[in-house]
Chain A
Amino acid sequence: DAGVIQSPRHEVTEMGQEVTLRCKPISGHDYLFWYRQTMMRGLELLIYFNNNVPIDDSGMPEDRFSAKMPNASFSTLKIQPSEPRDSAVYFCASSFKFTEAFFGQGTRLTVV
């Protein structure tokens, strides 16, 4: 398996624009996590899914953030409208049941 695949790797957008980050988890994994990493706040759990169902979205900072998992092999994290303070590295990770999670390479988002 190629591991967790995230796209794009880098995204630069203007304030107010919609941003969509994409994730393909490892085949067979039933948990999918979205994290945000910044120098100030470290690694924050935004939302996670089990069998495509959102379990806990309490980490989503605002209503501008939304996430979907339409099927077992694809998830999106959308920010609309984007703001400069959303600039961060966004990671997707997947796991099988309660074992270790495997992380993607991340998407570095810059909102100018």
Chain B
Amino acid sequence: AQSVAQPEDQVNVAEGNPLTVKCTYSVSGNPYLFWYVQYPNRGLQFLLKYITGDNLVKGSYGFEAEFNKSQTSFHLKKPSALVSDSALYFCAVRDMINFNKFYFGSGTKLNVKP
């Protein structure tokens, strides 16, 4: 079955340290992968996507993500975390075989401490 898994409910990191938010996926065909961020009382904001090409994709606010086909992972990374990065992060996959259905993970709360 098609799905997206975010194994960590919460990630804590100190400001200035690198951060990683994990995501694994399962789809029938080639995956179209996305990361979104949600701040309190706001809608989801698009951060970055992988469609094809380089496995390392860069997005908004200094975030990047690495696509790993063999491990079916698409982890979100940032070299140096900011307190303002604290938010809820969602990984998503678009199933190109199943009528472009959009599956979202359960979300990971990122806490960046000063």
Report how far A74 CA is from B50 CA in the complex, Å.
Answer: 29
> Which of B34, B96, B101 meets A100, CB within 8 Å?
B34
The residues of B that contact A33 with a CB separation of less than 8 Å are 102
Given contacts A97-B100, A103-B43, A105-B43, list 14 more A-B pairs with CB under 8 A: A42-B106, A43-B107, A45-B101, A45-B102, A45-B103, A50-B100, A55-B101, A56-B101, A93-B102, A95-B102, A98-B32, A98-B94, A103-B45, A104-B43
Per-residue CB contact flags for chain B residues 63-106 toward chain A (1 = under 8 Å, else 0) read 00000000000000000000000000010001010011111101
Report how many A-B pairs have Cβ atoms within 8 Å. Answer: 54
Task: Tell me whether A103 and B96 are in contact (CB under 8 A).
Answer: no
List 5 A–B pairs whose Cβ atoms lie within 8 Å, in order of A's numbering.
A35-B104, A50-B100, A93-B44, A103-B36, A103-B45
Most buried by A among B34, B43, B94: B43
**Main DSSP-derived SS at the B contact region:** strand
Interface size on A, residues (CB 8 A): 24
Task: Tell me whether A98 and B43 are in contact (CB under 8 A).
Answer: no
> Shortest Cβ distance from A100 into chain B, in angstroms?
5
> Shortest Cβ distance from B76 into chain A, in angstroms?
15
The residue on A at minimum CB distance from B36 is: A103
Which B1-56 residues sit within 8 Å CB-CB of chain A?
32, 34, 36, 42-46, 49, 51
Task: Tell me whether A50 and B99 are in contact (CB under 8 A).
Answer: yes
Report how far A47 CA is from B71 CA in the complex, Å.
Answer: 30
Report how far A45 CA is from B101 CA in the complex, Å.
Answer: 9
Which A58-112 residues sit within 8 Å CB-CB of chain B?
91, 93, 95, 97-106
Task: Tell me whether A99 and B49 are in contact (CB under 8 A).
Answer: yes
> Shortest Cβ distance from B104 into chain A, in angstroms?
5
> Shortest Cβ distance from A32 into chain B, in angstroms?
11
Task: Tell me whether B42 and A105 are in contact (CB under 8 A).
Answer: yes
> Which of B43, B51, B90, B94 meets A106, CB within 8 Å?
B43
> Shortest Cβ distance from A110 into chain B, in angstroms?
14
Report how far A33 CA is from B103 CA in the complex, Å.
Answer: 11
> Shortest Cβ distance from A83 into chain B, in angstroms?
24
Task: Tell me whether A56 and B99 are in contact (CB under 8 A).
Answer: yes
